[in-house]
Structure formats: structure tokens, C-alpha cells
Structure 1
């Protein structure tokens, strides 16, 4: 079995995964900070991903191994599981079922888990949520399952939208409680439920530089006093995000960390 080992970071992860698929990878796996790409033969790779190495490994059913290693993830009141582990959702927990995709969030990464935990800490009954950079839709869906009236997920990648919609259906989210669209915070957001584009809660799993860039837009889409949940932040980049929130008048800024990753919560200024 021919495997290409490529170091990855959160910021470059999506680009690396997309390029490896385009280069002909038959499967992708993330393990211990490495992206493992499976190929039938050694292939010329684009410059951006040439800093890895080819290894010949014993044949194995990598998909079966990947599935076997997945365990339920408890994030506050929510337990995130793949479809084949539905029976392992503990009594009293909100079950969130996500089909593991090699290029989209499953809830097993610390950044996603911390964001779901932060949502779980809130009383979301009747609230509206904006999920920026929604990917698989896991955060918007978690919010809806936790009681939100409406959760809108936006992402610049059109490939993510049907996957997020399918995940919402798989979790039996009632019609109209979630919606997903291609776009950015500079676009007009649908006004059927949130007519003014201002939400009760805003969550974004991006990275520090984007949080810095979007901090002003967060203000414009979050009601005064509303909770802001930001993740995807390397601890080394925390000051960049904290300075941006201070600049835009956010209050009650708090930080949680898990290894090299940080989650920042705050509230929009009154």
C-alpha cells in the first residue's frame, strides 16, 4: 500500500485535502498531526503539498481501521457519534449523528468539540444562531438540537452545503429549523426568519487571522449582549483574536484551551 504522509495545520488542512483528492488519492486519513493519503501509485503532486514523503506500508483496510478507532465524543449535553454507534448515545444526552467525511468536520477535533460544549452551556431555547464556516453543519445542527428556533450555516465552499443539509436530515432536524447557504458575512443573509440579519448567537470555527478580519462583521450580525463563540484558534495566535474583540467592543472575553487549540467566548457590546 502506497501512503503519502503530509504534515498539516488547521489553516492549510482544507487546501491540502482538496489537492490530494484532485491528485488521485483513493482515501485520506488524519492522524497525530499528519494527513495520510492513500494512492495506487506514486504521483506527481502540486508544489503546495510536496513537503511530505512517500511510504510503502503493509496492505490494510484503512476505512475499516478508521471506523474502528472512532468513539463517541461527549461535548457538554451533546454526544457526537457516527451512524454505526447510535446505540452508544448515553441516556439523557442529545445525540448528534455525523457521517465521517475525510474533508469535513466530524466533531472529533478539539476545535469542534469545544464549540459544541460552548453551545451546550447556553440556553438556546427559541434563539437564532449564525454558524460561520459551517462545513459539515455540525455546529448549526447541534444548536438546533439544543433548542434553537433557527440556525443558519454559511460557507464559501459550495461542496459543503449538500453535506450539511444531509446531516440535518439524518438528525431529524425539523423542517425550517436549519438552513445552509454559500456566502460570507458580506452577503445578504436570508430574511425569512431573521429579517435584519442579526442573530442571537454567532459561532465560527475558522482560524485566528479570519477572526481578526471578520470581527467587525461579527458585531453587525450579533444582537447587543449576544454570545460569540470562536474556535479554530491556535494558542500562539490568541492575542490576535483577543485584540480584535477588544477593538470591536466585545465584553466578557473568556478563553478555553485544549492542547494547542483555543476557544474564545465573548459577548457583543450593549
Structure 2
């Protein structure tokens, strides 16, 4: 069915109120967008992040009386000096199919491919990870994931144990197993990530080699390789937890970090690790290091 999208420019302190009003006026869905295209960070489950200048986007049925909605909008007290908005007619299409059609197999490094489960494998002789991301973060298209995949392709050795901290869709842990690792422990705060990782592990025939946990259940172990593709803030705050997973002489890769955040994250780990040169892609970086000792 066709839709009408109403975009309203507002501020972070008013965004929730505008959202509530749009839902009260008949919006089928409401979302929030940064007005100035600041990099988007993944929120914690249940958390909503607003930007200083936020665009609230309401989705309405095309038959909805939008003249009444706009009339009510003009009467809102905090828009007394005028409201900036935009009405858009959305094309009637299968948005899930549109997304699937634009998700293609991607190659990382010398031998590693990530292939959507609904597409043909380009190179059957390569190391192929079959992926259905579902609701969990991690498809390989984002620079932070790409940086980690390239690193895994270079560093994973047979028989290694790997910790994927913030496993999302399971893409990194499954790639490590396909590259020869013996065992992967995946940890994520989101139950949907555990479900997606479980399904993707089965799709790649590695269910017997991957263990998946919520943080409250995470085991005690030291691994040959630890990869954490989350966010700069949690990477710094959880540095002791993440560091403890790396055995002496083991390898660590950290991503989900903007260029401007690299030094502060590195500072949280440098007393235990020796860092390699920073790898960059677009505005994102990957930090890689070896733990002292061993």
C-alpha cells in the first residue's frame, strides 16, 4: 500500500513529544533521524538516542487526512514561531525485497566471502560465510565489520579459540571458524543477536563449534584471538573485561571506533597491549594489538 511520510524538524528535548503527537494523530510508525547526518551509534536495548537537531518522521496511510494533521501541528505551542516540515509520497514497493536485492556477496581479503543466504555463491572454492542478518547488527557492508573481516582473514590460524565480543549476527565468529578456528565464544547483550547468531551458525554448519552467551552467562576463558566490534564508549569502559579474555601473547582487534576516538580507546588498553598501526576505512578505524607476555 502507498504511504505518506511527514518529516518534522525539532530538537532533542521535544522529539519524544512530537513522536507521541504523531502517533496520536494516526501515524502507523514513527522514527528519529539526525538532521545533520552525525554518525549513528548503536543504542543499548530499549535506549533511544536523540540528536541536538532531530527529525521526527511519521508514516501515514496515503488515505489519511493529512490536512487535519498539519492543522493540529500548527497549533502546537512550542511551534508558535513556525514549524519546519516536509510531506513526501512514498513509492509503493516491497521494502524487504528491495533491501534483499541490493545486498550482494562481498569479498574480504584474499579468501573470505560473505554471501546473503538468498544469493548464489560467486566462488565455491573460497571461504564462504552464508548470512541472514535478520534483526541483528552485522552484514559486512559497514566499514567497521569490513575492517574486522579483513583482519580475521589475515590472522586466524587453525585450532585457535576466538571470542567475539558483541557478536551481533555472528558474522565475525562464523568467519573465524570458516577460516580454521577450532572454537568461538560469542557474547552479546541483545537476545535477538543470540538468536540470529544461532541461526547463522546452523546455516554455516558450525553450530557445534560456537557457544553463544548473554553477558550474565559469559564464561571465564582466555582465547588466542578476541575481536570486539561494538562502540568506542563500551570498548573503553569494558577494557578490563575484554582484556581478560586475551591470553598472554594473544591477539586483539577493536572496531566500531571513529578516527577521533582511536586514541582514547587505545589508552584504555595500552598498558597490557602493543598496538599495530591503525587501519582506517572512511571515517572508521580498527585497532589491533598483541597482549604482552606469552
TM class, shorter-chain normalised?
Answer: 0.7 to 0.9
Structure 1 residue runs without a partner (length 5+) = 21-33, 44-51, 190-195
- Whether 1:216 aligns to 2:248 is no
Matched residue SS, 1:176: helix
Equivalent residue number for residue 25 of structure 2: none
Q: Which residue of 1 aligns with 2:225?
A: 201
Aligned partner of residue 241 in structure 2, secondary structure: helix
Q: Per the alignment, do residues 225 and 58 of structure 1 end up closer, same or farther by CA in structure 2, a change over 3 Å counting?
A: same
Residue 217 of structure 1 and its aligned partner are, at CA, apart by 2.1
Q: In the alignment, is residue 125 of structure 1 matched against residue 158 of structure 2? A: yes
Displacement of 1:165 in angstroms is: 0.6
Cα distance in 2 for residues equivalent to 1:213 and 1:220: 13
Distance 1:228 1:210 in 2: 15
Q: Deviations over 1:82-105 (max 9, x none)?
A: 1122x2332432111111425421
Which residue, out of 81, 93, 105, partners 1:72? Answer: 105
User: Residues 102 and 160 from structure 1, CA distance in 2 versus in 1: closer, same or farther, beyond 3 angstroms?
Assistant: closer
- Which of 248, 255, 263 aligns to 2:278? It is 255
Query: Is the contact between residue 73 and residue 79 of structure 1 (CA under 8 Å) also seen in structure 2?
Result: yes
> Unmatched 5+ residue regions in structure 2?
6-30, 50-54, 70-84
Distance 1:251 1:136 in 2: 29
Distance in 2, matches of 1:228 and 1:132, equals: 11
Instruction: Indicate conservation of the 8 Å contact 1:225/1:267, yes or no.
Output: yes
TM-score in terms of structure 1 length: 0.78
Counterpart of 2:33 in structure 1 is: 6
RMSD of equivalent CA atoms: 3.0
Q: Determine if the alignment matches structure 1 residue 244 to structure 2 residue 268.
A: yes
Asked whether the equivalents of residues 128 and 199 of structure 1 are also in contact (C-alpha less than 8 Å), the reply is: yes
Find 2:249's aligned residue among 225, 231, 240. Answer: 225
Q: Which structure has the bigger radius of gyration?
A: 2
Provide the rounded CA distance (Å) in 2 between the counterparts of 1:158 and 1:244.
28
Q: Is the 8 A contact 2:162 2:176 kept in 1?
A: yes
Q: Deviations over 1:64-83 (max 9, x none)?
A: 22122111111122111111
Q: Secondary structure at the match of 2:246?
A: coil
1:183 aligns with 2:215: yes
2:202 to 169, 173, 176: 169
Stretches of 4+ aligned residues off by more than 4 angstroms: 13-16, 34-43
Residue matched to 2:292: 269
Counterpart position of 1:193: none
Q: Distance in 2 between matches of 1:128 and 1:39?
A: 50
Alignment partners' CA distance in 1, 2:172 and 2:183: 12
- Aligned residues between the structures: 238
Query: For the Cα contact (< 8 Å) 2:187–2:218, is it kept in 1?
Result: no
SS class of match (1:242)? helix
Secondary structure of 1:179's partner? Answer: strand
Q: Secondary structure at the match of 2:190?
A: coil
